[in-house]
Homo-oligomer: A and B are copies of this chain.
Amino acid sequence: MTATRFFSDNAAAVHPAVMEALSAANHVDTAYDGDALSQSLDAAFSNLFETTCEVVWIPTGTAANSIILAHFVRPWQGILCYEEAHIEVDECGAPAFYSGGAKLMTLPGRGAKIDAEALKTRLSMVRKDVHQVQPAAISITNATEYGLAWRPSEVGAISEVARAEGLKLHMDGARFANAVAFTGCAPADVTWRAGVDALSFGFTKNGAMMAEAIVFFGGSGGAGVRELKKRGGHLLSKGRFVAAQIRAMLKDDLWLTNARAANAGAAALAAACGDRLMYPVEANELFVKLTADEAARLRKAGFDFYDWGTGAARLVTSWDQDSESVAPLAAAIAAL
C-alpha cells in the first residue's frame, strides 16, 4: 500500500524501531511520568537543541499545541496565527478549550507563512484597552500547512516583532522533522536561536504511534504545564510507553532519517508534477492542480489522496515512501 496511499502521513505504519522500543519498555516501572524513560527526556532534548530544555511528552499534537498556548496566554488574551493554521481550522477549538476561551486572531500569509509586516499591521489595529482582546502569543507552523519550511531568518523576523510587543512565540512542529530535513539547519537555529519559546515536536506522523514532545527552551516552561496535562487527561498511567517512542525516534537521528525519506518521496513526485504545483515542495506535502477527471483517473489506478477544494489535490508522503515507492504515482501524474 505504500505505493498507493498518499492521503495522510497519519495513516502510515509505525516504524519497526518504535515497535521494538515499546516491547523493550514492557516491564514494570513507576506509573505516570516518574519512570526512567520519561525522566530522560529533558536531557535528550537539551542535547539535541544545544540548550536547557524542559520536555513533556504528550500523545497528540492537538494537546501539545493547546497546552503550550494555554500556558502562554490568559483566557482574555489572544493568539495570532495564520488564517488556515491547524490550530484555527482543524482542532475543534482545542486552543480555546485549554486556554479557557482565548481568541485566535488570524492573519493571511503566502504558503501559510505569516509575514512580519502583516503581523505589525495586524498588531497596530488592536486598540490597547479592555474592550479588545490583546494578543499574548504568536503561533507558526513548521513545516507550514502548505508544506513550506521556515528559514531561521524568517522566524527571527517574526520573533523580533513578538519580543517588541511582549508576545510569546510558539512553533507547531507536527512536521518539524520534515522542515529541518529540508533546510538542513540545526534544530536550535530555527527554534530558540531564532526566538521560539516553545515547540510542539511531532513524532506520530513521522513513524511513532502516539508521541509528541512539548519542548520549552531555556529552562523551565513554568508552573501549570504538567497540571494542564493531567487535567486534560493526558498523563497516561503507563506513560513510559510514550517516552519510549520518543527515545526511539531520537536514537541515531531516526526522526531525520524518516523525514528525509518522506521528503525524497515528495520531491520525486514534485518533479513529475511540474506546473501543477501550487507551492514549492519543501517537506512531504504537495498541493497539486488536478481536474476532477484527472483525479478520477488516478483514483481508478488505485491512488488514494484528498481533494483540496475544487480542481486541486493534496498528496502526502510518509517515512515509508521514498522516491522509489512513489515512482508509480509520479509516472501516472506525468502521463495525465
Which residues of A line the B interface, CB within 8 A? Answer: 1-2, 5, 7-8, 10-14, 19, 22-23, 26-32, 58-64, 66, 74-78, 89-94, 96-98, 100-104, 130-134, 204-205, 209-210, 224, 226-238, 241-242
Contact of A19 among B22, B29, B58, B74 (CB under 8 A): B22
Cα separation A27 to B98 with both chains bound (whole Å)? 33
**Contact of B14 with A29 in the complex, beta carbons under 8 Å:** no
27 pairs, A vs B, C-beta closer than 8 Å: A2-B28, A7-B31, A8-B31, A10-B31, A10-B32, A10-B237, A11-B31, A14-B241, A22-B22, A58-B233, A59-B233, A59-B236, A60-B237, A61-B237, A62-B235, A63-B232, A64-B233, A74-B227, A76-B227, A91-B231, A92-B230, A92-B231, A97-B232, A103-B104, A134-B227, A204-B236, A204-B238
**Contact of B92 with A96 in the complex, beta carbons under 8 Å:** no
Least CB distance from A90 to B in Å reads 5
Least CB distance from A159 to B in Å reads 22
**Contact of A75 with B60 in the complex, beta carbons under 8 Å:** no
From A1, A2, A26, residue with most partner B Cβ within 10 Å: A26
**Contact of B227 with A130 in the complex, beta carbons under 8 Å:** yes
User: Which chain B positions have C-beta within 8 A of A2?
Assistant: 28
Contact of A96 among B23, B64, B96 (CB under 8 A): B96
10 closest cross-chain pairs (CB), A and B? A63-B233, A10-B31, A10-B237, A100-B100, A96-B101, A62-B233, A76-B227, A92-B230, A92-B231, A130-B230
User: Which chain B positions have C-beta within 8 A of A23?
Assistant: 19
**Contact of A13 with B27 in the complex, beta carbons under 8 Å:** yes
User: Which chain B positions have C-beta within 8 A of A98?
Assistant: 233
Contact of A232 among B22, B94, B133, B209 (CB under 8 A): B94
**Contact of A236 with B224 in the complex, beta carbons under 8 Å:** no
User: Which chain B positions have C-beta within 8 A of A58?
Assistant: 233
**Contact of A91 with B230 in the complex, beta carbons under 8 Å:** yes
Least CB distance from A161 to B in Å reads 21
Cα separation A8 to B242 with both chains bound (whole Å)? 19
- Beta-carbon nearest neighbor of A1 in chain B: B28
